[in-house]
Structure 1
Amino acid sequence: MTEYRISAGGYTAVITARAGALRELRYRGRDLVVPFPEGGPIPDYRGIIAAPWPNRIADGRYAFDGNEYQVPVNETERNCALHGLAFPLDWRVVEHDASSVSLAVTLEPAPGYPHRLSLRADYGLSSAGLDSRVSAVNVGTTLAPYGVCPHPYLLAGPAPLDEWSLELPAGAFLEVTADRLLPRNVRDVDNHGFDFRGGRVIGTTEIDHAFTGIGFDGDGRAQVLVRDPGGTAVGMAWDRSCPWVQIHTADKTAPARSRLGLAVEPMTCPPDAFNSGTDVHRLAPGGTHEASWTIFAKDS
């Protein structure tokens, strides 16, 4: 598998051509994301760019502008189409230097998504961390629904995830069905175990939910902080292009290794948005969209 190494400001990163994925991110030798092995498959969608939709589409079916579509189901246990169409593809390099790399891929018309999009992922390292930007251009002739998110699993430090603390500036979350994780209602986090606005230990709480009601600062940025009791921490910040963020404690059934990292996925739209229409971007021919985020180390 072709991959690209970059470094700057004490950070190093490895980006793969497959899925345009972040395979590794380290700060002064410390892992900030759960890595995956060189040359092998990408487990659990680690580090991929999920486009042209984030999260899942129920039954792989949706309607758009009066037409019904069926995309391939790849999450068979829940009968959903998960994380879009870009992740199985090999992205081509556009630019690469010591501290940055840009990759691009074209989504050709496919069953259930008869549109043509050009995607570009720009990764750049500095003393502020890893800045990432995904740009989309509708290079086809049809109006296209669109959404995007990254899929890193953050690592706060060497302690178990149950001992990490999470600071999440979200005032609401999307309730989902227990069996298929499909949306039900948006609910306030007040007096709920998902209220992490003040920062607290995750403990045994299991999370695989989209959060919204994000608190953005005066510069239009929001951030999640995950702290290890030993004093190390990792953060992720993003802009207003992502009014949702999926948080997942990576729970698995034994004997699989569970809770290896905390997935933090700023999303432009929520799960099953191609059916609800919530925050789906409608890209006209020639239309563009951009979203950006940053992963950084923060030691106390």
Structure 2
Amino acid sequence: MNPSGFQVELAHGDYTAVVTEVGATLRELRHHDRALVVPFGADEIRPNFRGAVLQPWPNRVAGGAYTFQGDERQLPLTEPDRGNALHGLVAWARWQVAAQTADTVELTHQLVPVTGYPHPLDLRVRYALDDAGLHWTVSATNTGAGPAPYGTGPHPYLVAGAGRVDDWSLELPAAQYLAVTPDRLLPAGVEPVEPAGFDFRTPRRLGDIFIDHAFTALAPGADGVARAVVRADDGGGVACSWNVAQCPWVQIHTADRPGEAGDRIGLAVEPMTCPPDAFNSGTDLVVLEPGQTHATTWTIAAL
């Protein structure tokens, strides 16, 4: 069996995608056979959360420890070098295909309560291709007897075209970013973006800048949607769009891995319902009441 489990192939017009059983992962997304996300092989163990779904929290929980409604909890430290709990509990779980057509697939997973997160959730991911691109919807329903803290986000690495991150430009309508500690990448306060630093409200070349930060104060269009646009020198590129009311944060990462084959080969653009360590700060944390469902959608499209 492939390390990522069974593979679901989708197609609509000029778009194709491959979704995997393990992690409900987006393994490939192509337009006219041009990669829009950094892919990985069916025979590979998924590298660096590439294309994964992050639930019931995105990003980091500091030390894996948090308190919810007076109950102190400890999550497994899945980022041991920094001592954090990273990217939720289902990125390596097997999901079930609940429905499938030529251009859509819906996968489900029942999250069982664990010591550090004693909340049963029914999780659902839907991928749908149409002329506008890939629509990626993630939802969670609290099937437990008490409220549950919750957050989500995706983990695609966008590919603008030829070259690497250094060769592309980024447009991002964010006025603030979350500064982080240099050692553990934990929140250190919200700061305004600066023209010579993280201000990409006017498109500009990424060059050799390092980014692994969450951005906020997003300026949506009249439809409430924000767009991160990554372009190559030939003018082509890829865009990720999402509803700011549902995801007021977005993590941007330049995929710096010196000495590795994956160094700066894609730009991670991760719309998030909450910032890093929201289980501790409470910032934009979703609290699911018993029986309540939370859903959000983001779209990836060729330019």
Structure 2-normalised TM-score? 0.97
Alignment partner, residue 187 of structure 2: 183
Cα separation, 1, equivalents of 2:242 and 2:161 = 22
Equivalent positions of 1:93-242 (< 5 A) are 93-239=97-243, 240-242=245-247
**Is structure 2 residue 103 aligned with structure 1 residue 83?**
no
In structure 2, give the amino acid aligned to 1:258. D
Instruction: State whether residues 159 and 230 of structure 1, in contact with CA within 8 Å, keep that contact through their aligned partners in structure 2.
Output: no
In structure 2, give the amino acid aligned to 1:155. V
State the identity as a percent: 52
Q: SS at 1:123's partner residue?
A: strand
Instruction: State whether residues 159 and 229 of structure 1, in contact with CA within 8 Å, keep that contact through their aligned partners in structure 2.
Output: no
In structure 2, give the amino acid aligned to 1:109. P
Cα separation, 2, equivalents of 1:263 and 1:177 = 20
Q: SS at 2:178's partner residue?
A: strand
In structure 1, give the amino acid aligned to 2:251. Q
Instruction: State whether residues 6 and 100 of structure 1, in contact with CA within 8 Å, keep that contact through their aligned partners in structure 2.
Output: yes
Q: String of CA shifts for 1:21-64, please: whole Å, max 9, x gaps.
A: 00000000000000011033110000110000000111110011
Cα separation, 2, equivalents of 1:293 and 1:87 = 18
Q: String of CA shifts for 1:225-261, please: whole Å, max 9, x gaps.
A: 0000022200000012000000000001324541010
4+ runs of 1 displaced by more than 3 Å?
Answer: none
Q: Shift in Å at residue 192 of structure 1?
A: 4.3
Alignment partner, residue 69 of structure 1: 73
Instruction: State whether residues 9 and 128 of structure 1, in contact with CA within 8 Å, keep that contact through their aligned partners in structure 2.
Output: no
Deviates more, 1:37-46 or 1:10-19: 37-46
Specify every segment of 5 or more residues in structure 1 that has no aligned partner in the other structure, as ranges: none
Q: Shift in Å at residue 88 of structure 1?
A: 1.2
Deviates more, 1:191-200 or 1:10-19: 191-200
Q: CA RMSD in A?
A: 0.9
Cα separation, 1, equivalents of 2:140 and 2:53 = 12
Instruction: State whether residues 130 and 296 of structure 1, in contact with CA within 8 Å, keep that contact through their aligned partners in structure 2.
Output: yes
Instruction: State whether residues 3 and 16 of structure 1, in contact with CA within 8 Å, keep that contact through their aligned partners in structure 2.
Output: yes
Q: String of CA shifts for 1:80-135, please: whole Å, max 9, x gaps.
A: 00000011111100110101000010110012000000010010001100001111
Report the count of equivalent residues.
298
**Is structure 2 residue 39 aligned with structure 1 residue 35?**
yes
Q: SS at 2:107's partner residue?
A: strand
In structure 2, give the amino acid aligned to 1:297. A
Alignment partner, residue 293 of structure 1: 298
Instruction: State whether residues 255 and 262 of structure 2, in contact with CA within 8 Å, keep that contact through their aligned partners in structure 1.
Output: no
Distance 1:14 1:187, change over 3 A: same
Alignment partner, residue 251 of structure 2: 246
Cα separation, 2, equivalents of 1:264 and 1:53 = 16
Q: String of CA shifts for 1:206-230, please: whole Å, max 9, x gaps.
A: 0000000001111111100000002
Cα separation, 1, equivalents of 2:154 and 2:175 = 21
Distance 1:7 1:285, change over 3 A: same
Specify every segment of 5 or more residues in structure 2 that has no aligned partner in the other structure, as ranges: none
- Name which of 6, 13, 30 aligns with 2:10: 6
In structure 2, give the amino acid aligned to 1:220. G
In structure 2, give the amino acid aligned to 1:272. D
Instruction: State whether residues 50 and 87 of structure 1, in contact with CA within 8 Å, keep that contact through their aligned partners in structure 2.
Output: yes
Q: SS at 1:43's partner residue?
A: coil
Q: SS at 2:48's partner residue?
A: helix
**Is structure 2 residue 287 aligned with structure 1 residue 282?**
yes
